[in-house]
Amino acid sequence: MSLLDDPRRALSGLSRPESWVLGVSAAFALFLLAALLTGALGPTYFLFLVGLAGMYALLSFGLNAQWGFTGLINFSVAAFFGIGAYGSALMTADSSPIAGGFNPLVGLVVALVAAFVLALLIGIPTLRLRADYLAIASLGLAEVVRLIVLNERWLTNGSAGLRGIPSFFQGWPVLSTFPEAMPGLRLVVIPGTPILLETSFWRASLNVLLVLAFAGAAFLVLRRAHRSPWGRVLRTIRSDEDLARALGKNTYSFKMQSFVLGSLIMALAGVFYTHLNLYVGPGDLDPITTFYAWVAVILGGSGSNRGALFGGIVIVTIREGTRFLNDVALPIDPAPLRLLLIGVVIVAVMRYRPQGILPPQRELIWPSAVDGGGTPETPDSGVREQKGGGGDE
Amino acid sequence: MTVLGYLANGLVFSSIIVLGSIGLSLVYSIADFANFAHGDTMTVGAYAALVTFGAVGGLGGAVLGLPYGFFLALVVGIAVAAVVAVGTEKLVYEPLDVDSIGLLITSIGIAFIYRAVIQIRFGSDFTRFGIQPLRPIESLVPYGVRVTLHDVAIVGSAVVLVAGLHVLLQYTDLGRKMRAMADNPDLARVSGIRTKRVKLWTWVIGAGLAGAGGVFLGLFNQLSPRMGFNLLLVIFAAVILGGIGSVYGAMAGGFLIGMINQLTPFFSGVVEALPIWPGWLATLLENLISIEYANAIAFVIMVAVLLVRPNGIAGEGAT
């Protein structure tokens, strides 16, 4: 990364919001580090939070592929998240009413296939609709999915939910026994408050590795897709669908592709959630999950993947910070406080910064194509060549 | 219960949906965005009435099993919902520099703020107005109709409010201006209509009706901070079925959706009785048409209408 090559120049090249975000993130990281070292924040819980942040980042990536790239107002994020979670839980859990006991990898595949089918089922009728109709219709269909999960007891165990879900790495050669095999560590940073790293810590760190792998893969795929000719068509659709159609693009097909891509990433977040939380219930399909993802995306900046990552971290901070506040300072029920903060964030962003805090700027351009001070190099795979050889348009 | 009984229940529920859907449709056509905070405006009205009723008490006499104080509370609920909506328009929506999609997203934030404030103040539990539940009207029970005097009051008040709106829209200056603005805002502005003022009045009327709907919903069921949000999609279904922007369409759509919602158990009885072949189809239909899926049926109708007839049953241009 350029930050490592030349830190000073990279820092001075940041825009104001970028340096602001960097500063706040650094301060927040220091705060978390201090909390970890003093023992105020348990390391296992911290890793759980990191996993949760990664999960919201994944959800936001998925939504970004739909809203940020193509401008699809998808209010059925919770349905895809839920189908991913239920797909893998039904395959792997002991209490699963239909199958159960399969390897988590089978659950992953089943979840993705189920999400693919659901994306087609929701997308085929709704993607032809005007933007605001799409919002209402997708929210309605997500509620239909939630009601089915809640009521079809033979399939989903109804409101009791699914328990007895194994960790994702169960049945893998080394990783399945890794947490038990690791020795319990005892770190003493500040005398008197030792930090214990035991089996649960190692299990949580495996989860973090998993979400990093998922999110990293999704990030790379999306970044590549966004800059590709395919991504350019999507951006054209977002800004002017008639123009895209006039250029001979089958916009419905492109919208469907981006809808399916985003839905699969959301389902991936659901699969991860299943193995993080080890319990899945119909409450996980509540529309609030959809709006968490939306807040993350519009706060971060629609179309910006690093913005989505930032938004995901903010969401977890709001979610868990309200719980913390309730324990420490304010005796307010965390649930409505969370709702209030989410609402205020939405209104404030739309009021003062509708493009989001980190709107996509340079991330849409090949890095080699940016004037880097010296003589501009000829891009080895620049825009022109791509246009000529873009076979997938 | 008999068909008549379900129809009577449907009529009561429809009245509430109609009150909600008119406001949503008005705001959709004049402020030009899908207001996701509309359901929570209903909640605001309901809780304002709850507080008022708790403060003033019964005030002596009663009409239709409802103490006078309740009607005062109803008026306060309507007024508070209208004031809150106008305040939101002035403070939040008007200064915004975003398109209708941006307004839609903002309205979700507003909905959360309304609901959160109510939940912080009143907790998330169900409550009721402190009014004795009545027994069904004796003379109607032999026909299988189990409605209380309260239900009659709900339907009656809704009819009065809807008739008042009709008179307002058709015979007053403001109504004509509102119809002109719904038709073509630019043209209305050019012809000298103060569109900002008309927009404010739209919020007053839409939110006021929503507040009334919320109070009646609280009387019909219970009050909870989620009551409005849970009903929002059903109201959207009604508005879309009726045709967005058409007030009379919204009335018809609200009536139909409310009826379908309450008639679901009757339909499931019909499906069981019908000789449907093959057998798996019969089982599937029996499973899907059940009381648990009453809302889901409304949502599916909504999507179907959007696909087949996006202008709704009232068609294009009818206001």
The angle that helices B195-220 and B3-30 make with each other, rounded to 10 degrees, is: 160
Q: Give the per-residue pLDDT at A385.
A: 44
Output the DSSP codes for chain B. Answer: --HHHHHHHHHHHHHHHHHHHHHHHHHHHHT-S--TTHHHHHHHHHHHHHHHHHHH---S-EETTEEHHHHHHHHHHHHHHHHHHHHHIIIIITT----HHHHHHHHHHHHHHHHHHHHHHH-SS-B--S-PPPPPPGGGGGGT----HHHHHHHHHHHHHHHHHHHHHHHSHHHHHHHHHHH-HHHHHHTT--HHHHHHHHHHHHHHHHHHHHHHHHHHS-B-TTHHHHHHHHHHHHHHHH-TT-HHHHHHHHHHHHHHHHHHHHHHHHHHHS--SSHHHHHHHHHHSSGGGHHHHHHHHHHHHHHH-TT-TT-SS--
Total residues found in chain B within this entry? 319
Q: Give the per-residue pLDDT at A389.
A: 41
Q: Give the per-residue pLDDT at B280.
A: 76
Closest CA–CA distance from residue B60 to any residue of chain A (Å): 37
Handedness of CA A169, A175, A180, A183 (dihedral sign): negative
8 A C-beta contact, residue B122 and residue B225: yes
d(CA A157, CA B151): 37
**Digit-coded pLDDT (tens) for B213-230:** 999 999 988 899 989 988
Q: Give the per-residue pLDDT at B131.
A: 80
d(CA B34, CA B12): 26
Q: Is A132 in contact with B34 (Cβ distance < 8 A)?
A: yes
Position A165, amino acid: I
Q: Where are the alpha helices (DSSP H) in A127-168?
A: 131-151, 153-156
Task: Identify the closest residue of chain A to B91 by CA–CA distance.
Answer: A351
Residue range A8-12: mean pLDDT, rounded = 65
Residue B113 touches chain A, beta carbons under 8 Å: yes
Q: Give the per-residue pLDDT at A104.
A: 87
Cα distances from A120 to residues A116, A264, A304, B99, B129, in angstroms, run 6, 11, 25, 29, 45
Q: What percent of chain B has pLDDT over 90?
A: 41
Residues of A with CB under 8 A from a CB of B: 73, 125-126, 128-133, 135-137, 139-141, 143-144, 147-148, 150-152, 291, 294, 298, 332-333, 335-340, 342-347, 350-351, 354
pLDDT above 60 for A234: yes
8 A C-beta contact, residue A83 and residue A115: yes
Residue B306 touches chain A, beta carbons under 8 Å: yes
CA nearest B169: which of B157, B183, B155, B158? B183
Cα distances from A186 to residues A30, A179, A200, B280, in angstroms, run 22, 15, 14, 61
**Digit-coded pLDDT (tens) for A44-87:** 888 888 899 999 999 999 999 999 889 899 999 999 999 999 99
Residues 6 or more apart whose Cβ sits within 8 Å of residue B251: B18, B21, B22, B162, B242
Residues 6 or more apart whose Cβ sits within 8 Å of residue B287: A152
Q: Which of A124, A285, A289, A346 to mutate to test the interface with B (most CBs of B within 10 A)?
A: A346
A102-106, B142-146, B195-199: least confident range: B142-146
Task: Output the six-digit token pair for A229.
Answer: 């000719």
When the pLDDT of each residue in chain A is averaged and rounded to a whole number, the result is 82
**Digit-coded pLDDT (tens) for A179-197:** 777 777 776 666 666 666 7
Residue B275 or B158, more confident: B158
Task: Identify the closest residue of chain B to A153 by CA–CA distance.
Answer: B287
Q: Give the per-residue pLDDT at A119.
A: 95
Residue numbers in B near A333 (CB within 8 A): 119-120, 123-124
Cα distances from A370 to residues A7, A303, A333, A376, in angstroms, run 18, 19, 49, 7
Q: Give the per-residue pLDDT at A214.
A: 92
The angle that helices B100-122 and A334-352 make with each other, rounded to 10 degrees, is: 150
Residue A139 or A43, more confident: A139
Complex ipTM value: 0.88
Longest dimension (CA), chain A: 71
